[in-house]
Every structure is written in C-alpha cells, then in structure tokens.
C-alpha cells in the first residue's frame, strides 16, 4: 500500500501531500497543504473565518508549520514550501 506522497495533477501549481502514520494517532488529518508564504496564507484564511489550532511557527525540524480546522472539526496541516 502506498503510504502517501506528493500528489499533483499534471501542470498544476497546487500540491497536496498525503501520508499515514500507523504508529501514532495524529492530532491532525493526514492531509497537509503547502503554500509559498505561510504568513500571508494564514492571514487570508483567518480573514475568511478559518479557525487555526496552531498559528504558523518554525518547528524543531526547521519547517514552517500551522494547523487549522474545517467546518466539521477535521484538522489539517499547512506548511510553507521549502526554499523560502
């Protein structure tokens, strides 16, 4: 079974990273969205009423990370694309 990976339709600018961790119960859904500027994306999403459970910050592994909920309470990750 494919444990996940980077998914993107041909020619798309949007990518979704899917993964599964059977060893741990995640505190967020197995879906992470990447963006070019996490501060700007966070601001835009908050302005539209999205509830963040973790504001953007640099995590111990060195990447920018945030978590948010959808209208049903499912949690998702938001990560800044590398190299920025």
Helix/strand/coil (H, E, C) string of 43-57? HHHHHCCCEEEEEEE
- In terms of pTM, does the model score above 0.75? no
Q: What is the CATH number of the domain that holds 43?
A: 3.10.180.10
Strand partners, 16: 7, 33
Task: List per-residue pLDDT tens for the chain, 84 residues long.
Answer: 344 555 666 777 776 666 666 665 545 566 889 999 999 999 999 999 999 999 999 988 888 999 999 887 888 999 997 654
Q: How many domains does the chain have?
A: 1
d(CA 22, CA 50): 28
Range of the domain at 30: 4-80
Stated as kind and residue range, the H or E segment containing 40 is: helix 38-47
């Amino acid at each position: 079974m494919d444990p996940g990976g980077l998914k993107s339709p041909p020619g798309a600018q949007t990518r979704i990273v899917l993964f599964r961790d059977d060893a741990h119960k995640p505190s967020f859904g197995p879906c992470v969205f990447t963006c070019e500027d996490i501060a700007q994306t966070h601001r835009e999403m908050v302005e539209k009423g999205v509830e963040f459970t973790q504001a953007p910050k640099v995590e111990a592994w060195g990447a920018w990370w945030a978590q948010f909920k959808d209208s049903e309470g499912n949690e998702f990750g938001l990560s800044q694309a590398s190299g920025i």
